[in-house]
C-alpha cells in the first residue's frame, strides 16, 4: 500500500455501527486522521514556490504526494495540461536500479505512461527517494498517546460498584443509582434487609467492588508531557525547534547548538530535492519556477539565527541556575 492508498483508506471511513466496539474503532480512526492531517498541514507549508506555475499544477497536492509516497512527477497529460501528479517507476533500469519508464496516476483514476528525462520530470521528497516516514509514524504515535489519555480519563470516573447476590437486589440497586443520577430522591422498599444498610457495609451479603485507581489521574500529566515531547522532537526534525517546557537547564550551550543544527538537516535535503526538480522542469518545459523556504522556515537560511539562538538559550540556562540558587 502506498502513501496515497493509506490516507485514502483513512479518510474513507463510511461504515458505521452503533456497537461500542465499532464506535471505539471509529474514534481511534478519527484520531489517526486528525494527527496525520495536522502534521501534514504543518510540514506541507515548508516551501514557497514562485514563478509561472501552470494553472492546473496543484502544488498543495504535490507536497502530499512527496511526503506520503516520496515521489511525484511533472508532465503533460493526454489533453496537453501540465500537471504535478503521483507516479511509479518501471521499465528498464538505469545503473542505480531506477526505472526509466514512469507510470503517471491521475486522481480521477486515469493512468498514462511517460519516459523519465524525455517528456516527464520525476521529483522526490529527499534526494535519497525516501518517503516521509517521520510524519506518518509520529502521527500514529501521537494518536496512541491520545488513546491512552482517553482511557485514563474514562477510568478516572470509575467509582465503587455494589455487588449483590440476586437479581432482585440488583434491580433495586440499579434503580437507586439511576434515580441519583437524575437527581431524584425516593424510597427503596425492602422486604427483609435494608438495602441501604447492605450498600453501606452493615451486612456482608453486599460488597463494594473498588475499581478506582488513584494513579489514573496522575498518569494524565505524564501522557501530556510525553505528547509534548514527541511533538517537539518531530517539529525539531522538520526545522521548527520548540521546547515546550521553556527551559534547557539540562543542556549545555554546545548541545543547544547541535539541537538547532539538527533541525536544518532534513529541511535542507527536502529543499535541494525540490530545487533540482524545478530546475529540470524549467529546462524541459520552458518554465521559470523557483522554490525557497516559506516564511516560517526562513530562519534556517541565516547563520545569525544560530548564534542568536545560542545566546538566548545560554541566558535561559543562566537564569534557571540563578533561580535554583535563590530557592
Residue-by-residue DSSP string for 270-289: HHHHHHHHHHHHHHHH---E
Grid cell of 60 as nine digits: 498543495
Other CB atoms within a 10 A radius of the CB of residue 137 amount to 11
Q: What is the pLDDT of residue 155?
A: 72
Q: Look at residues 40, 70, 3, 266 and name the one whose alpha carbon lies nearest to residue 139.
A: 40
Q: What is the pLDDT of residue 261?
A: 80
**Secondary structure (3-state) at 47:** strand
Grid cell of 266 as nine digits: 532534513
What are the helix (H) ranges across 130-214? 133-155, 167-182, 195-199
pTM of the model: 0.72
Cβ 83 vs Cβ 146: under 8 Å: no
Residue 290 DSSP code: E
CA–CA distance, 181 with 158 (Å, rounded to integer): 14
Residue 116 DSSP code: B
Q: What is the pLDDT of residue 208?
A: 72
Fold of the domain built from segment(s) 3-133: Upper collar protein gp10 (connector protein) fold (2.40.500)
For the chain, what's the residue count?
327
One pLDDT digit (tens) per residue for the chain, 327 residues: 454 554 555 454 444 444 445 677 788 888 899 999 999 999 999 999 999 999 999 999 999 999 999 999 999 999 999 999 999 999 999 999 999 999 999 999 999 999 999 999 999 999 999 999 999 999 999 999 998 888 877 777 667 777 777 788 788 778 877 877 777 776 656 555 555 555 555 445 557 766 666 666 678 888 999 999 999 999 999 999 877 655 545 555 555 556 678 889 999 999 999 999 999 999 999 999 999 999 999 998 874 444 444 444 455 445 555 555 555
Adjacent-strand bridge partners of 292: 48
Q: What is the pLDDT of residue 197?
A: 57
Helix (H) or strand (E) holding 72: strand 71-76
CA–CA distance, 49 with 70 (Å, rounded to integer): 18
CATH 2.40.500 residue spans of the chain = 3-133
Q: What is the pLDDT of residue 1?
A: 46
Cβ 66 vs Cβ 136: under 8 Å: no
Outline where DSSP puts E strands in 86-236. 87-93, 99-105, 111-115, 120-124, 161-163, 207-209
Amino acid at each position: 500500500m502506498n502513501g496515497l492508498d493509506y490516507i485514502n483508506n483513512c479518510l474513507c471511513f463510511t461504515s458505521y455501527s452503533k456497537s461500542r466496539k465499532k464506535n471505539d474503532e471509529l474514534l481511534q480512526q478519527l484520531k489517526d486522521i486528525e494527527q496525520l492531517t495536522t502534521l501534514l498541514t504543518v510540514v506541507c507549508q515548508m516551501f514557497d514556490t514562485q514563478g509561472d506555475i501552470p494553472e492546473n499544477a496543484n502544488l498543495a497536492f504535490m507536497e502530499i504526494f512527496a511526503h506520503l509516497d516520496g515521489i511525484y512527477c511533472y508532465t503533460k497529460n493526454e489533453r496537453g495540461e501540465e500537471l504535478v501528479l503521483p507516479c511509479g517507476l518501471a521499465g528498464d533500469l538505469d545503473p542505480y536500479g531506477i526505472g526509466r519508464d514512469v507510470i503517471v496516476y491521475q486522481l480521477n483514476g486515469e493512468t498514462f505512461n511517460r519516459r523519465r528525462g524525455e517528456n516527464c520530470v520525476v521529483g522526490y521528497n529527499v534526494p535519497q527517494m525516501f518517503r516521509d516516514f517521520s510524519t506518518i509514524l509520529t502521527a500514529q504515535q501521537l494518536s496512541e498517546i491520545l488513546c491512552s489519555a482517553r482511557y485514563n480519563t474514562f477510568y478516572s470516573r470509575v467509582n465503587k460498584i455494589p455487588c449483590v447476590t440476586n437479581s432482585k437486589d440488583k434491580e433495586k440497586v440499579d434503580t437507586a443509582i439511576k434515580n441519583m443520577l437524575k437527581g431524584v430522591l425516593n424510597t427503596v422498599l425492602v422486604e427483609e434487609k435494608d438495602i441501604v444498610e447492605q450498600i453501606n457495609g452493615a451486612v456482608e451479603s453486599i460488597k463494594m467492588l473498588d475499581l478506582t485507581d488513584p494513579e489514573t489521574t496522575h498518569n494524565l500529566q505524564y501522557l501530556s508531557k510525553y505528547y509534548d515531547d514527541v511533538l517537539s522532537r518531530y517539529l525539531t526534525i522538520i526545522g521548527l525547534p520548540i521546547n515546550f517546557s521553556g527551559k534547557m537547564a539540562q543542556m549545555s550551550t554546545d548541545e543547544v547548538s547541535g539541537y538547532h543544527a539538527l533541525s536544518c538537516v532534513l529541511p535542507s535535503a527536502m529543499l535541494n530535492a525540490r530545487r533540482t526538480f524545478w530546475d529540470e522542469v524549467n529546462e524541459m518545459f520552458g518554465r521559470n519556477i523557483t522554490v525557497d523556504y516559506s516564511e516560517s522556515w526562513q530562519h534556517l537560511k541565516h547563520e545569525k539565527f544560530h548564534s542568536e539562538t545560542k545566546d538566548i538559550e545560554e541566558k535561559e540556562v543562566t537564569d534557571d541556575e540563578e533561580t535554583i540558587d535563590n530557592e
